[in-house]
């Protein structure tokens, strides 16, 4: 419309590949891996807390 051309998808991919090679994949400092025993126990605790919260919400809704 205004004489602007869209960039070539292949060119954008090359630029993305270039940056990926320099910086690598996204990482999080100090992250707990999902397969570690610590992460599994933390997940179980979180699920139990969610179940208890859902049960409290449900019982509160029934009391109304």
Condensed to tens digits (0 to 9), the pLDDT of residues 28-44 reads: 776 666 777 888 898 89
- Distance between CA 49 and CA 22 in Å, rounded? 41
C-alpha dist (Å) from residue 32 to 7, 23, 26, 27, 45: 39, 21, 15, 11, 15
- Distance between CA 8 and CA 14 in Å, rounded? 10
CB count within 10 Å of CB 13 equals 10
Q: Is the pTM of this model over 0.85?
A: no
Q: Domain map of the chain by residue range?
A: 32-64
The predicted-structure confidence for 5-24, as pLDDT tens digits, reads as follows: 666 666 667 877 888 888 87
Structure tokens at 46: 């979180």
């Amino acid at each position: 419309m205004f004489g602007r051309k869209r960039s070539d998808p292949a060119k954008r991919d090359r630029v993305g590949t270039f940056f990926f090679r320099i910086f690598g994949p996204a990482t999080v400092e100090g992250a707990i891996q999902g397969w570690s025993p610590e992460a599994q126990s933390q997940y179980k605790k979180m699920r139990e807390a969610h179940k208890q919260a859902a049960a409290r919400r449900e019982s509160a809704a029934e009391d109304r």
